[in-house]
């Protein structure tokens, strides 16, 4: 039923009617390489994940172009991004149950198909309304790609390889949002905006073919009834929170009545869900996981890291375009050092986490990222681009070395059955953190710019080109304030990491079953 290579690589051997642990020399992992099949599984999952995360930021550079082509307002075209986030918000909470009900591989395959189909339809959109609708379809598929993929890889690898595996499949989480503006800028510089969506199609087709051939078969699991009441509370609640944060970010303040109403309603529904889930024997989201120390601390770190990652990605292109007068392409390319730094560190950081644990690695890595972030609190209109590129590279090293080990640590004490809902929870917190970071930084930036230009009634972010020195200095001052918030956020992440457990991530785990 299962590929024997996968069973061997997780230190379990198949015997009639059971899965028996194989005695193995422990602690040292110097000789313990990842099985080639696990590497292939990780590559397939990463291909699917990169598409979903890339599309959260790739459309940002095309906002003005879309508004012009469809003869509509920026406020309307913003729903191209907000609609995608709302679709993710609706389906992510369901993914844990869906993995049990339909099987992780089957869900991954269907999610990739829906996302690819949505991408084709988005590229063929004939109006703003049709584009927004097709983005919803794309989001319904994209929301379950990462939970399903992470479940497959986590179960196949086993606990003693979680650091390295998460370092491999965590690359899309860090690089996707960073590469989005770069790829979007390149496409808009040479082709139609439609290729922003068509670029997903060949990747999706390749992923479908490879998923069918490489991913291990997974069984459907009975005994997991659908939590209809929990769904009626959590998915709308999460969607209202995302919508409220998006509206706050677009209006530049918490004073908007609709933003206040939707945010309060969403938070209220989420609170009601927590009370429901604590009593329900089979909740849509297992909130009792937070009673486990490693999971609770790691989850908090994931949310905060997502806030500073996505929030700063929102600020940096604006700084380069508004203050420096750079084109969208150049502004996108200036994000590359962060991606390079993160990409270089994720694999060695995962290996270190497997061998030595995360207690020292994670806080030190985040401190390095904080140093790189601090540099941006000193930006001016004439700052040396090489200096800021180096600072961003340092920030990428820190976040890249911390993100995947933190996610891996969250699985330390989880059983085989808890993994699907744990991956769902981690992805929800990442989404909330990202939305919260963008919304808060947008409000801070708008408020800071209003203080610099108290009599300006229009959008200050529409200023481009060669600005007078006084205007550019005031704009830079506003961005410095926003970057201080990013610096404080990443510093706060250090606090919970100091309480992470010592030791290897899976050193004491002998009860972990590798596959469904």
Residues 26-55: tens digit of each pLDDT: 344 444 566 677 777 777 877 777 777 777
| Geometric angle at alpha carbon 176, from 175 and 180, rounded to 5° | 115
Contact yes or no for 240/263 (Cβ under 8 A): yes
Residue 149 corresponds to which tokens in the numbers above?
A: 């993929």
β partners of residue 233: none
Q: How many CA atoms lie within 13 A of 100 on its CB side?
A: 23
* Cα 101 to Cα 231: distance, rounded to the nearest angstrom: 15
Give the number of other Cβ atoms within 10 Å of residue 271's Cβ. Answer: 12
Would the pTM count as exceeding 0.75?
no
Query: Within its chain, how far is the Cα of 117 from the centroid?
Result: 22
User: Residue 387's CB: how many other CB atoms inside 10 A?
Assistant: 12
Q: Which of 266, 272, 274, 270 is nearest to 247 (CA)?
A: 266
- Write phi, then psi, for 217 (nearest 5 degrees): -65, 140
259 by DSSP, 3-state: which? Answer: helix
Alpha-carbon span 262 to 269, nearest angstrom: 11
Tell me the two tokens of residue 161. Answer: 């390889």
Hey, is 42 helix, strand or coil? helix
For the stretch 365-412, pLDDT in tens is 899 989 999 988 888 888 788 888 888 899 988 888 887 788 777 777
Q: Which CATH class is domain 34-497?
A: mainly alpha
C-alpha 24/C-alpha 490 separation (Å) is: 39
What pairs with residue 195 in β-bridges?
none
Q: What does each of the 516 residues of the chain score in pLDDT, given as a tens digit?
A: 334 333 333 333 333 333 333 333 334 444 456 667 777 777 787 777 777 777 767 776 676 677 778 877 655 666 777 677 777 777 877 877 788 778 888 888 889 999 999 999 998 988 888 888 898 888 888 878 877 877 777 776 665 565 666 666 666 666 666 677 777 778 877 888 888 888 888 888 988 888 888 887 776 766 667 778 888 888 788 778 777 776 765 665 667 788 788 888 988 998 898 888 888 777 777 787 787 777 888 888 888 888 888 788 778 877 887 788 777 677 777 877 887 888 788 778 777 776 777 778 888 889 998 999 998 888 888 878 888 888 889 998 888 888 778 877 777 776 666 776 777 777 777 777 877 777 778 778 777 777 777 665 444 444 555 666 777 788 888 888 889 998 999 999 888 888 877 655 554 444 444 433
């Amino acid at each position: 039923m299962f590929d024997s290579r996968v069973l061997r690589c997780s230190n379990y051997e198949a015997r009639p009617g059971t899965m028996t642990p194989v005695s193995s020399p422990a602690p040292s992992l110097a000789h313990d390489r990842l099985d080639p099949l696990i590497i292939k599984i990780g590559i397939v999952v990463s291909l699917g994940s990169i598409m979903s995360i890339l599309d959260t930021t790739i459309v940002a550079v095309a906002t003005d172009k879309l508004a012009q082509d469809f003869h509509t307002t920026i406020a309307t075209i913003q729903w191209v991004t907000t609609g995608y986030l709302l679709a993710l918000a609706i389906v992510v909470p369901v993914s844990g149950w869906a993995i049990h009900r339909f099987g992780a591989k089957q869900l991954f395959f269907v999610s990739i198909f829906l996302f690819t189909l949505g991408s084709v339809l988005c590229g063929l959109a004939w109006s703003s309304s049709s584009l927004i609708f097709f983005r919803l379809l794309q989001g319904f598929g994209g929301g379950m790609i990462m939970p399903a993929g992470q479940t497959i890889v986590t179960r196949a690898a086993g606990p003693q390889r979680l650091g390295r595996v998460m370092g491999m499949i965590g690359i899309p989480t860090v690089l996707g949002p960073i590469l989005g503006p770069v790829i979007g800028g390149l496409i808009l510089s040479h082709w139609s905006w439609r290729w922003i969506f068509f670029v997903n199609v060949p990747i999706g087709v390749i992923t479908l073919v490879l998923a069918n051939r490489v991913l291990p078969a997974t069984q459907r699991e009975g005994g997991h009834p659908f939590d209809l009441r929990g769904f009626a509370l959590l998915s709308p609640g999460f969607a209202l929170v995302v919508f409220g944060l998006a509206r706050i970010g677009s209006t530049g303040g918490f004073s908007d009545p609709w933003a206040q109403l939707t945010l309060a309603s969403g938070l209220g529904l989420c609170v009601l869900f927590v009370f429901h889930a604590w009593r329900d024997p089979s909740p849509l989201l297992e909130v009792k996981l937070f009673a486990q120390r490693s999971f609770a601390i790691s989850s908090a770190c994931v949310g905060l890291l997502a806030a500073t990652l996505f929030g700063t990605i929102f600020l940096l292109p604006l700084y380069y375009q508004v203050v420096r007068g750079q084109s969208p392409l150049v502004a996108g390319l200036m994000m590359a050092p962060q991606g390079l730094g993160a990409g270089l560190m994720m694999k060695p950081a995962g290996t270190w986490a497997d061998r030595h644990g995360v207690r020292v690695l994670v806080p030190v890595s985040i401190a390095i990222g904080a140093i790189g972030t601090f540099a941006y609190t000193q930006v001016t209109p004439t700052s040396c681009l090489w200096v800021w590129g180096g600072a961003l590279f340092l920030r990428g090293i820190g976040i890249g070395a911390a993100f995947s080990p933190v996610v891996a640590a969250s699985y330390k004490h989880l059983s085989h059955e808890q993994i699907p809902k744990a991956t769902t929870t981690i992805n929800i917190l990442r989404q909330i953190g990202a939305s919260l970071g963008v919304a808060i930084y947008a409000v801070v930036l708008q408020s800071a710019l209003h203080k610099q230009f108290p009599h300006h009634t229009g959008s200050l972010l529409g200023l481009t080109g060669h600005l007078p020195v006084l205007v550019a200095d005031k704009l830079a001052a506003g961005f410095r304030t926003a970057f201080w918030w990013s610096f404080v956020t990443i510093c706060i992440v250090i606090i919970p990491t100091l309480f992470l457990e010592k030791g290897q991530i899976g050193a004491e785990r002998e009860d972990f079953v590798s596959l469904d």
